[in-house]
Each structure stands twice: as C-alpha cells, then as structure tokens.
Structure 1
Amino acid sequence: MNKTISFFLIFILGFSVYYFVDLFYFKSIQTFVKELSGSKALAHVVAYCVTMVPLIIILKIIFPEKKIISLFSINKSVLKGFSTAFIGTLPMLLGYFIYFKLVQSINFQSLFINSISSPFFEELIFRAFLIGTLYRFTRLGFITSALFGSLLFAQMHLYQGSSFTQLTEIFLITFLGSVFFSWVYFETDFNLWTAIFLHLFMNLYWEIFNVSDNVSGNMYGNLFKILSILLIIALVIYNKRRNKIPLQITRKNLFIKTKQT
C-alpha cells in the first residue's frame, strides 16, 4: 500500500478512536476521578490524559523513531513561548483592567480547568496532533491542514451559545481563533508553548475580568482581543525578519506544499 495512503488511514483511524473515546467516556472518567479524589481539576486532567492515549499510540505507530514530546512540539523553549504570549496579550490585560471589573468571586478549580488544563490539552490535541501532524509530515498546506481541525474545534465550543446569532458568533470566533493559533504555532518554529500560553492568557483574562458570559463577547472585549492578535502577529513577523528567517506560511503553500516541511 502507498505510504501516503497508509499514513492517512492510520491517522484518521487513530483520531476517530480518540474522538469516540472522548465523546463517550470523558465525562464518565471525570466523574469517577472527581468522586474518588474530590478534585474537579484533577479529574479534568486525568480524563484528558486517558482519552489522549489513542493519539499517543498512533503517533508511535506512524513515527516509531521520534519522541512523543517532539511530535507534540513541547520540546521547544517554554520561556520563548511564554514571553511572546505575555507581551502579545498585554492589550487584553491592560484594556480589561481599565474597562472591566474583576469578578467578585473565583472558583479556582474552574479557573484552573478553563485557563490552564483546557488550553494545554486542546493545543496538544488540535494544534499539535490534528493540525500540526498534517502540516509537518504531509504535503498538505496551511489551509488544508487547519480546516478540519479548526471546524471541529469551533464545533466543540457551541455549548456556550443558545440563540442562532450567538452560535454563529461563537463558531466564527473559535474557528478563526484556531486558525490564528495554528499560524502562530507554525511561525514560531513549531513551538507549541507559544500557542498554549496565548490560549492560557486569553482565557485567563476573560475569566478574571467581568467581560462576557461566552466567547462571543462584546465591543470592548473583542476590541482588546483583536489588538492583542495584531500585536502578536507583528511580534512574530518582526522576530522572523530580524533573524532573517522566511515566513513558514506563504501564498505558495496555502493548499499544497512543494516540499514537505
């Protein structure tokens, strides 16, 4: 069988197994661990770790010689990822500090789940595995690699809305957010920590300030988020030009790459 066909069959099978394990068993595992430990935060982490096992197995089958931390792109500089994300999200932090009040009470377990655990695992699953593996190890371009993963990522956040308008806004915002995180991940030398910390800080500021009940937000909430996105793009492009590194994503590889990354 052709190697490319074998790769895609195994990759699709592996993600399908993960998807159904996550769909049918994530909440059960979470509930079991929570009842056992009394910790909602620990239960969330354990449920993710268990449901991610099929992804790890598939990566080792496809790339037996490569290390898992390399395949998930967490072997890069944590400090670089942190600094880029923190500086880039300063417009959100400062803007929210000026225009919004801090929430009156904080549930720290929920804060951990929404601002640390979810961003970390979602970036591993969607950006590193589902989108990153396709872009890094096949001839698929940026859009063709990011499309399905971003659509699925957006679909998973629809629970936050009720009306058609809210659902549409949430879907578009999370879809475009996924594409943006993917671009940052690729352009920072496949350093997933940049995307993880971006996701973390954006969620954190949204959680600790009284911005909005869901990701669709409001005028000022979205304005400062957009300013942060523009600053991050500027920082990434400036750093690459200063170091004379060509952009990873160009018009030539939006759909198909002329050569594998």
Structure 2
Amino acid sequence: MGRFNFFVAFIFGFGLYFYFDQSCYSYFHKEASSITKSTASGHILAYLITLIPLLITVLFLKKKEINVLEAVGLSGSLTKGFGFAFLCTLPLLVAFSVKFSLNTGLSLNTIIINTISSAFFEEIIYRAFLFGILYRCTRLGFLPSVFLGSLLFGVAHLYQATDFVEILEVFAITFLGSVFFCWIYAEWNFNLWTAIFLHCLMNLYWLIFNVDDSAIGGMYANIFRFLSFFIAIGITIFYKRRNKISLEVTKTTFCIKPKDR
C-alpha cells in the first residue's frame, strides 16, 4: 500500500470509529446494560461494539506477516505484563495506603469501568492504534508517531478540569503519561499488556484511596506517581541491557526510521 493511501485509510478508519462511538455508544450501553443487568458489562460490551471499525482498520493496515492480536499488542505475555506493572507501581500502592484513607463509597461497577475497562480500551485506541500502527507500519519515528495519540489522550481527559489552570495541568499530565505508555509499549516488544496493567493499577490505586477527583493530584501523589514512571524506565533499560536487547527508541528511530528497518 502506498504511503498516501495508508494515511488516508488510517485517518478514515479512526474517523469512522470516532463517529460510530459518539453516535452509537450511548445506545449500545443502554441496551447492553439492560440485557446484562450490569452497568459495567454494558460499558464493556458497548466499547467492544464501537471498536469494530477500528479493528477492521487494523486488519486492513497491519503488516502481512502478523495477525490482528499481534498488531494491537495483545499476543504478548499477560503474566510478564502484570508482573512488571505490579513491581513498578508497588511504591505507589504503599505510599497511598500510608497517606490517604480508603474510598469506602466505591462500587464494583465503578472499579471495573474506571480501572480495568478504561485501561484496556484506552490502551488499544491510543497506544496500539494511534501510536502503534503508525510506528510499526510506517517509517515515522517515535516522536511523530506518539504525538497524535498523546494529544487526543490529553484532550479526552480535559473534562476533569474546572478552570484554565486545571486544563493545562490535566493536559500536561495525561499527555506525558501517554508518551510514557507509548515508550513502555514499544520497548517491551509491543506487548500491550505492560501498558494496560500499568495504566490499570495506577488508576486503581488512585481510585481506591481518596487521592484526588481528577488526574492532577497533589505534590505527594505526584512524587510517587513519577517514581513509578522512573522505576518502570529503569527496570526496562536494565532488563534489555542484561539480556543484550537493543532499545527500540534510539536516535535512529526517534524521528524517521531508516529504510532497512
């Protein structure tokens, strides 16, 4: 497929998904929740249905030698992804349990929707598709590939802000978080479970303790949040060097990848 046709299909596929999601999600969620008698189940089923245009686009754009699950990063080791994520976020769990009280008003539906479901589907949309398909299937390097998905990820979380300063803070935190998840996804051989579980556990700890109503958090929360980021980066680099595996993101893959890749 030519470069122009690829980008036209990429933009059209995402646009079709976005339109389908905006126009049909509420209907599917209402019907699925009514049938299953569960808000969480309805949420998950509605997301699965509205993702169909995106998955069809992946099927069309992916490299011939890989299947759809591999193209979106779900064929990697689930246990490795969870073990890595739990180790990296353990200081966050300990710090939050010491500083903040438990959120006793949580329901199971809220936990599933705001942790498991949101992490899984957001990683497929923003990391596997908007970043991964661009980076893996074109010569675009990490920087241009990461920009669109991270921009949209930041914009998608602006509903948490109540004034202009909070808009800037929420956008900055979520944009940088998206870049971080993209880097993790790429460096762990495009195993999306690493990013999914990191995202899920960070959301879970933020939710089960009374940290903040938005993604901003205070100084204490952010110190340990960024500590988890640095631990994840350190473990990744240590693991790859110990096993003599080259880093995926380097100066040769940062902007435009060479033709022989």
The alignment's TM-score, normalised by the length of structure 1, stands at 0.96
- State the one-letter code of the partner of 2:15: S
For each residue in 1:187-231, what CA deviation from the matched residue of structure 2 results, as whole angstroms up to 9, or x when unmatched? 011110000000000000001011111101111111110111110
The AA in structure 1 aligned to 2:92 is M
Letter of the 2:42 partner, please give it.
A
Partner SS state of residue 89, structure 1: helix
> SS state of the match for residue 189, structure 2?
coil
- Does residue 135 (structure 1) correspond to residue 135 (structure 2)? The answer is yes
**Letter aligned with residue 196 of structure 2:** I
CA gap of 1:108–1:142, structure 2 versus 1, over 3 A, is: same
CA deviation map 1:103-146 (0-9, x unaligned): 12221101101110010011011101111010011000101001
Amino acid in the other structure paired with 1:98? V
Match of 1:113 in 2: 113
Q: Deviations over 1:170-199 (max 9, x none)?
A: 111001000000000000111100000000
1:242 matched residue in structure 2? 242
Cα distance in 2, alignment partners of residues 123 and 152 from structure 1: 12
**Which ranges of structure 1 fall in alignment gaps of 5 or more residues?**
none
1:28 Cα deviation from its structure 2 partner: 2.3
- Tell me how far apart the structure 1 counterparts of residues 228 and 62 of structure 2 sit (CA, whole Å): 36
Aligned counterparts of 1:86 and 1:209: Cα–Cα separation in 2: 17
One-letter code of the match for 1:139? R
Q: Percent identity?
A: 45
Please name the residue that 1:205 is paired with: 205
Is it true that 1:101 corresponds to 2:98 in the alignment?
no
Give unpaired runs (5+ residues) of structure 2.
none
Which residue of the partner structure matches residue 164 of structure 2? 164
CA distance in 1 between counterparts of 2:8 and 2:249 reads: 26
Name the CA distance, whole Å, in 2 between partners of 1:168 and 1:30: 31
Q: Which residue of 2 aligns with 1:24?
A: 23
What are the Cα deviations for residues 75-113 of structure 1, in whole angstroms up to 9, with x where unaligned?
011111111110001111111011111112221101101
- Size of the aligned set, in residue pairs, is 260
Q: Which residue of 1 aligns with 2:226?
A: 226
What's the CA shift for 1:32?
2.3
Q: Give the TM-score normalised by structure 2.
A: 0.96
Q: Where do 4+ consecutive residues of structure 1 move more than 4 Å?
A: none
C-alpha RMSD of matched pairs (Å): 1.3
In the alignment, which residue of structure 1 is the partner of 2:42? 43
- Structure 2 CA distance, aligned partners of 1:256 and 1:97? 44
| Kept in 2: contact 1:138–1:260 (CA 8 A) | no
